[in-house]
């Protein structure tokens, strides 16, 4: 266990240095904030344009729904990318994977450690985006004191699921070419569409709603939104479940995805070793 | 010096050499990348999902607006509908605007593909080549460096067009977007002028990135969402001009990216200049085409000078082959 902890700590430190030491701290803070805030502004403008030409009286509930979902989606994009890109960057860019891989540590734990710095930066970016929305865009947020434990537990579970999904992708990317950008765009896109992040599941066709209900992140976004934007009139299609039932779904799926991540990682690793692909480079 | 090793300076030889360099550098992108079957899934299909999310947002807004018009009491704008005819008129307007906005997203999605290719496979490419050790080989080769960048651009355009076409096809057949192309030749002219200007900008960035270290990678990452926002990739750029104060400033800054003007012109040509009540366009199509042609020429010339200057500077500062800095 101490080896795991030491590996995690060292990998987290390494990840933080790699993420942040390319520039001055103030510039890094600015960089960490501009991207998510600009992402939120795309949605703000989409809303403004629609209101300007389609619905002059506005729709504050729809806007709050979308804004909160988008803010928490920063975790999805950044934690997933922070996890699966470890293998590809070590393999293709730094070409150090062979040295790390043969060292007497768990590479699985090493990947989790490397992703930890992304989580730290994301917490900051999510907080800034939410505060910005409340202060300047009229987003209505309210978190009751009694709901704080539920909020913390659901956030931890949501992040665990994200790490597990990231490891699943990492296991697959052991075998694939350099697809960092396709994965970074595409997999979060999958969750963007099917998990009710920006629009409720009711907008999707029936098969799309079924896909969304099979992904644990849907429940994470739903419970987070229930706790932060109480009284929303948007029909999420999950209104029949109480928050504790939603939390139970999240717990069960977290455990399931952790098991799946170990399985996919081991299978990917096995076939990559068999095919001699652990340290391949695919530069074009 | 023998005839075989003497440096050839005649025009025909140099043109042939540089054309071969263009073909040689574009070859791995066009052919090599397609030899990796997973590429089609990861680079062409998966990114469609992100575009789909933006499409569903507009559909969600459209459904909410329709529900308000059909609600009790039926709302037509900010007042209760006076008659069924007015109600139908508002419903038709919401449907037309929703279709036009979804079409804007689809067109923006095709341009996103090219912009990401410019950032990650043009601008960052010389830096990437430096990281993996190929840059020194390029520098020793006898062709013009612009031919190298030109090859990267041609290969990148062809490679990316698969994703762009997939986005368009999905827009038309999956999301039911209706395009009304009145002037196909003008549309092609705008499209290619936009691409040449975009890749010219990418060639210029490639030279700048040559000098920078890891900042280059992070700069590319920084030019995604902020540029998507300021250049109106997912909404008509004219929407920014409606925001008093900072809106026009951001829109003008974003207009330095050729994709913003190009998208505005493409949207006018495919949706009709009366779409959105004609209130969200920046300039007329012909003016925008002239701006794009000007940008294309300017960026290509700047790329030529930046490359020559920064190559010399990088050599002087010893950064041409230094990795991981």
Give the nearest chain A residue to B89 (CA atoms): A54
Residue A237's Cβ-count burial label (10 Å; 0-12, 13-18, 19+) is: middle
Model confidence, pTM = 0.82
Is B60 close to A23, i.e. CB distance below 8 A? no
Query: What confidence tens digit (pLDDT) does each residue in B62-77 have?
Result: 888 888 888 888 888 7
- Check if the interface score ipTM surpasses 0.90: no
Q: How far is A52 from chain B (nearest CA, A)?
A: 8
Query: How far is the C-alpha of B188 from the C-alpha of B183, rounded, in Å?
Result: 9
- Is pLDDT above 90 for B317? no
Is B225 close to A39, i.e. CB distance below 8 A? yes
Ramachandran sector of residue A237 (left: φ over 0; alpha: ψ -120 to 50; beta: rest): left
A–B CB contacts, 8 A cutoff, strictly below: 173
Q: Which of A46, A3, A115 is nearest to B232 (CA)?
A: A46
Helix axes B145-173, B184-211, angle to 10 degrees: 130
Is A179 close to B94, i.e. CB distance below 8 A? no
Residue B46's Cβ-count burial label (10 Å; 0-12, 13-18, 19+) is: buried
Residue B276 is nearest to which of A53, A59, A193, comparing CB atoms? A53
- CB contact A25 to B (< 8 Å): no
Query: What confidence tens digit (pLDDT) does each residue in A14-68 have?
Result: 998 888 887 778 788 888 888 888 888 888 888 888 887 766 667 788 888 889 9
Query: What confidence tens digit (pLDDT) does each residue in A80-113 have?
Result: 888 888 888 888 878 888 899 999 999 999 999 9
Is B60 close to A283, i.e. CB distance below 8 A? no
Query: What confidence tens digit (pLDDT) does each residue in B246-257 have?
Result: 889 999 999 999
- CB contact A60 to B (< 8 Å): no
Residue A48 is nearest to which of B43, B49, B242, comparing CB atoms? B242
- Split at pLDDT 50, 70, 90, the class of A202 is confident
Give the nearest chain B residue to A67 (CA atoms): B57
Give the nearest chain B residue to A62 (CA atoms): B61
Contacts of A193 in chain B (CB under 8 A): 49-50, 52-53, 56
Contacts of B221 in chain A (CB under 8 A): 35
Half-sphere exposure of A259 (CA within 13 A, CB side): 5
């Amino acid at each position: 266990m101490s080896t795991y902890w030491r590996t995690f700590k060292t990998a987290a430190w390494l990840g933080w240095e790699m993420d942040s030491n390319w520039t001055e701290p103030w510039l890094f803070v600015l960089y960490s904030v501009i991207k998510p805030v600009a992402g939120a502004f795309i949605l703000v403008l989409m809303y403004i344009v629609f209101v300007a030409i389609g619905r002059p009286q506005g729709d504050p509930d729809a806007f709050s729904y979308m804004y909160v979902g988008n803010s928490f989606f920063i975790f999805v994009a950044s934690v997933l990318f922070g996890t699966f890109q470890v293998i590809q960057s070590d393999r293709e860019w730094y070409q150090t994977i062979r040295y790390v891989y043969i060292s007497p540590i768990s590479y699985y734990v090493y990947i989790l450690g490397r992703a930890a710095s992304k989580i730290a930066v994301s917490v900051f970016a999510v907080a800034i985006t939410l505060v910005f929305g409340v202060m300047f865009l009229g987003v209505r947020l309210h978190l009751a004191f009694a709901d704080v434990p539920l909020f913390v537990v659901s956030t931890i579970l949501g992040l665990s699921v994200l790490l597990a999904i990231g490891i699943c992708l990492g296991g697959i990317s052991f075998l694939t070419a350099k697809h960092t950008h396709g994965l970074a765009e595409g997999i979060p896109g999958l969750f963007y569409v099917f998990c009710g992040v920006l629009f409720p599941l009711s907008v999707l066709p029936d098969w799309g709603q079924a896909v969304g209900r099979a992904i644990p992140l849907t429940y994470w976004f739903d419970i987070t939104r229930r706790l932060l934007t109480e009284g929303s009139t948007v029909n999420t299609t999950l209104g029949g479940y109480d928050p504790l039932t939603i939390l139970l779904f999240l717990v069960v799926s977290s455990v399931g995805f952790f098991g799946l991540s170990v399985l996919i990682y081991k299978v990917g690793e096995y076939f990559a070793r068999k095919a001699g692909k652990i340290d391949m480079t695919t530069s074009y | 010096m023998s005839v075989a090793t003497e440096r050839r300076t005649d025009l025909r030889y140099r043109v042939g050499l540089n054309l071969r360099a263009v073909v040689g550098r574009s070859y791995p992108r066009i052919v090599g990348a397609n030899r990796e079957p997973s590429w089609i899934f990861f680079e062409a299909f998966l990114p469609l999902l992100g575009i789909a999310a933006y499409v569903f947002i507009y559909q969600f807004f459209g459904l909410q607006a329709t529900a308000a018009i059909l609600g009790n009491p039926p709302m037509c704008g900010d007042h209760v509908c006076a008659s069924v005819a007015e109600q139908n008129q508002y419903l038709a307007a919401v449907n037309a605007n929703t279709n036009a906005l979804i079409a804007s997203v689809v067109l923006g999605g095709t341009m996103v593909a090219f912009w990401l290719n410019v950032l990650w496979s043009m601008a960052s490419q010389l830096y990437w080549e430096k990281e993996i050790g190929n840059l020194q080989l390029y520098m020793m080769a006898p062709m013009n460096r612009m031919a190298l960048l030109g090859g990267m651009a041609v290969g990148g355009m062809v490679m990316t067009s698969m994703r762009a076409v997939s986005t368009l096809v999905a827009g038309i057949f999956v999301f039911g977007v209706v395009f009304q192309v009145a002037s196909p030749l003008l549309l092609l002219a705008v499209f290619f002028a936009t691409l040449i200007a975009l890749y010219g900008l990418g060639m210029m960035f490639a030279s700048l990135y040559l000098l920078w270290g890891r900042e280059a990678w992070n700069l590319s990452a920084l030019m995604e969402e902020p540029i998507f926002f300021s250049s109106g990739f997912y909404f008509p750029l004219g929407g920014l001009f409606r925001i008093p104060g900072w809106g026009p400033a951001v829109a003008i800054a974003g207009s330095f990216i050729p994709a913003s003007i190009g998208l505005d012109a493409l949207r006018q040509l495919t949706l009709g200049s009366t779409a959105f009540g004609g209130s969200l366009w920046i300039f007329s199509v012909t003016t925008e085409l002239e701006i794009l042609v000007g940008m294309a020429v300017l960026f290509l010339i700047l790329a030529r000078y930046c490359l020559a200057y920064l190559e010399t500077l990088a050599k002087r500062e010893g950064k041409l082959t230094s990795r991981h800095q």
